[in-house]
Amino acid sequence: MTRRDVRTLALAALGGALEFYDFIIFVYFAAIIGQLFFPPELPDWMKQLQTFGIFAAGYLARPLGGIIMAHFGDRLGRKRMFTLSILMMAISTLGMGLLPTYAQVGIIAPVALLALRIAQGAAIGGEVPGAWVFVAEHVPPNRVGLACGTVTCGLTVGILLGSLSATGLNTFFTQEVILDDAWRLPFLLGGVFGFISVYLRRWLAETPVFKAMQERKTLTEELPLRVVARDHLRGVAVSVALTGLLSSGIIVLILMTPAILQKSYGIDPATALSANSLSTLFLSIGCVLAGLIVDRIGAARFFMFFSPLLALSAFLLFMTLRIDPSWLFVLSALVGLCVGTIGAVPYAMVHVFPASVRFSGLSASYNLAYAVFGGLTPIAVTMMQQVSPLAPAFYVLVFSLVGVITGFALRRLPKL
């Protein structure tokens, strides 16, 4: 890659990390938000329910925001939407940090919080697929995997930054100080860093692929989403299947596992969260490694060979901890590395759609599928645990098999 390619990749990954940090920190402060933004006479469980309802609204807004931004990304340019997404996130996150509480303005507080959370969801819906398309169209064809894996690594680093910010705040401030005003700090910092990222993205250039389509006048004149639905259902099917693989790894093995370890294995919260931070760190490393490997062997062989490792690591984790909990940190690192398989998912997605509708096809498939899997996975795994303590591993196994089957379907993957 040229120095310009490296700079583009670095700025895209940095912006993705900061934007995902902005999106995820809400959940780390759910208990604080519940106390500050809802009537004090409500029972605690009701406050938490309403807080998580607002959190979920961000996920529900992802498909709509992603589809709208992708439409204009295919018609007007990748760079404009890539910059707009992070600007929306910066404004909404900064707004959260400046919001008055329920004690100050009453019902306006939770309503405003909901509106800002929806804006965050719309922004992240455009950011993730936009980042993948943007870097894939900038780098040489034999570095698309590395580019997409590095951007995905940046997104996972955003999760880690959110966890570390919550840990740091609770370490250096008392609960009273946090409730007073210190809770605003992570949101304000996220907003400020977001505006810095907006400024840095000014130095990015439009993708060579989009410029070439403009010069040749080959931009789609139809509604991009209509073209996708009519001519590229195979690409949609591949993207939905791989989003299922991605969501099973992230939701079950990264986001749900700390709670599972505490409830089913008796591991204390501090240890479970420390292991989760280690797992997330190795996930970031795994994403880059997956990108390097998929560039060498292609998506078909990658998913046929590496998808089973995801299920194997899940079974190793949940079976071994029942016998010997001392393996927690070693196995958490291994699981994180294997979840890094998801770093190759965008490589396949950007290849199964032509450039003229690539942004729309990828964004619609990914965001709609993730909204469904994001909502159903926790419910399905929780219900399955009533039957077997290894339910999380069996759930991951199902989507690992989906990954293998998808690998077979990708044996004739077109070049970017």
Residue 160 tokens read as 């880690």
Across 289-311, average pLDDT: 94
Long-range contacts of 214-218 (CB under 8 A, 24+ apart): 218/356
| Residue 92 reports pLDDT greater than 90 | yes
Interacting residues of 67 by C-beta distance below 8 A, sequence separation 6+:
125, 225, 360, 363, 364, 367
Across 223-241, average pLDDT: 91
Max mean pLDDT range (61-70, 218-227, 343-352, 405-414): 343-352
Measured CA to CA, the distance from residue 150 to residue 9 in angstroms comes to 8
101, 171 Cβ separation under 8 angstroms: no
CATH fold of 1-215: Growth Hormone; Chain: A; (1.20.1250)
Measured CA to CA, the distance from residue 186 to residue 193 in angstroms comes to 10
| Residue 288 reports pLDDT greater than 90 | yes
Across 213-241, average pLDDT: 87
Across 298-327, average pLDDT: 93
Interacting residues of 135 by C-beta distance below 8 A, sequence separation 6+:
8, 9, 12, 147, 148, 150, 151
**In the chain, which segments carry CATH 1.20.1250.20?**
1-215, 220-416
| Residue 415 reports pLDDT greater than 60 | no
349, 239 Cβ separation under 8 angstroms: yes
Burial class (CB in 10 A: 0-12, 13-18, 19+), 139: buried
CA of residue 212 relative to chain centroid, distance: 30
- Tell me the pLDDT band of 413, cut-offs 50, 70 and 90: low
Interacting residues of 355 by C-beta distance below 8 A, sequence separation 6+:
137, 209, 210, 213
58, 124 Cβ separation under 8 angstroms: yes
Burial class (CB in 10 A: 0-12, 13-18, 19+), 399: buried
- Nearest alpha carbon to residue 243 among 154, 295, 162, 303: 303
Report which residue type is found at 340: G
Domain 220-416 annotated CATH 1.20.1250.20: yes
319, 388 Cβ separation under 8 angstroms: no
| Residue 416 reports pLDDT greater than 70 | no
Measured CA to CA, the distance from residue 120 to residue 123 in angstroms comes to 5
Measured CA to CA, the distance from residue 191 to residue 174 in angstroms comes to 24
Interacting residues of 100 by C-beta distance below 8 A, sequence separation 6+:
108, 109
Report which residue type is found at 295: D
Start-to-end Cα distance in the chain:
16
What pLDDT score was predicted for residue 237? 95
In sequence order, which ranges of 106-247 are alpha helices (DSSP H)? 108-136, 144-172, 175-177, 184-200, 208-216, 224-231, 233-247
What pLDDT score was predicted for residue 361? 92
CA of residue 324 relative to chain centroid, distance: 32
Lowest mean pLDDT among 38-42, 50-54, 295-299: 50-54
- Tell me the pLDDT band of 414, cut-offs 50, 70 and 90: low
Q: Could you give the angle at the alpha carbon of 366 between the alpha carbons of 407 and 394, nearest 5°?
A: 55
In sequence order, which ranges of 249-344 are alpha helices (DSSP H)? 257-265, 269-323, 328-339
